[in-house]
Amino acid sequence: MNSENHVHKNEKRLCIECGTELFGRSDKKFCCDMCRNIYNNRRYSYNDSERKRINSILAKNKRILELFIRLGYSNLKRNKLEEEHFNFQYFTSIKKRRFGKIYFYCYNFLYHINNKDIVYFSKTGNNS
C-alpha cells in the first residue's frame, strides 16, 4: 500500500468539504451526501458552464438554419449567416464525402461551404 494514502489508526480523517471528523469506512471522503454534492458541484461547475455555453451556440446555429429553410432557402452567402450570428466554429459532427467535400452537421441539419463562400444547407432525415 502506498504510504502517502495510508492513514494511521490514530490519525483523524476529515471530510474534504467541511472538515468534520469521519467515521466508518477507511476510504470515506465526505461526512454526508450534502458535502459530497457541494464539493462535486463546485469541482465541475466550470465544465458545466462551458457545456452550457457551447450548447447555446449550437442551438442558435440550429435555429438560424431552421429559419432559413422554413423561409425556402437552401443556400446563402456565408456572410449572411454570419450577420445572423451563425458561428461556424461550432458543429455537432463533420464528415468528408466524395471528392473531398466536407459536410458539417448541427444536430439534424447539415451544411457545406463551397470555394465561393456559398453555404448549402438542408435538414437531414433525423427528426430529433
Residue among 62, 68, 39 nearest 109 (CA)? 62
Residue among 66, 59, 58, 85 nearest 124 (CA)? 66
In this structure, is residue 118 part of a structural domain? yes
In this structure, is residue 30 part of a structural domain? no
Which pTM does this prediction carry? 0.63
In this structure, is residue 91 part of a structural domain? yes
CB 93 within 8 A of CB 107: no
pLDDT tens digits, one per residue of 21-80:
999 998 999 999 998 998 988 887 767 788 889 999 999 999 999 999 999 999 999 999
CB 58 within 8 A of CB 107: yes
Residue 87 structural domain? 55-123
Question: What's the number of domains the chain is made of?
Answer: 1
